Amino acid sequence: MPRRALIVDDNAANRELMAVMLQRLGFVGVGVADGASARAIVERESFDVVFLDLKLANGCGIDLAKEVRSRPWGARVPLVAVSGVSPEEGAHLVRPGGFDAFLAKPFSFADLEKTIEALLTKDG
């Protein structure tokens, strides 16, 4: 059974591209465009990894991270902050925001693969 990844990004092209990249890594990517959709889906479903854009058009990825962490499955799921901010700025947001990793936009397939490998190795 393939692993599932939630992709929260208000840019449709970014969601679609990440879903294709994740499929190459053996994941099924489920994309949503906003905080309301993300909240609704995490109420019903669980995921193996969650990618949250930090700057959504109608919300904040950090707030969503807290909501994911409150789910029964959320304490153990890797959360990846995704943003166009600099890697240095992103690094300062990761731990306080409850994230396990930061992925700076634009990112390559190799960047995504390296991030997932590090998270899965960490989880054992």
Phi, psi of 52 (to 5 degrees): -120, 120
Q: What pLDDT does 78 receive?
A: 94
Q: What is the pLDDT of residues 18-61, one digit of tens each?
A: 999 999 999 999 999 998 999 899 889 999 999 999 988 777 88
Alpha carbon separation from 42 to 30, 31, 90, 94 (Å, rounded)? 11, 12, 24, 20
Q: What pLDDT does 59 receive?
A: 76
Q: What is the pLDDT of residues 58-91, one digit of tens each?
A: 778 888 898 889 888 888 899 999 998 888 888 8
Q: What pLDDT does 124 receive?
A: 52
Contacts of 21 (CB under 8 A, 6+ apart): 109, 112
| Residue 51 · residue 44 · CB < 8 Å | no
Q: Could you confirm whether domain 1-86 is CATH 3.40.50.300? A: no
Cis peptide before 87 (omega within 30 of 0): no
**What's the pLDDT band for 119 if we cut at 50, 70, 90?**
very high
| Residue 3 · residue 29 · CB < 8 Å | no
Task: Supply the pTM of this predicted model.
Answer: 0.92
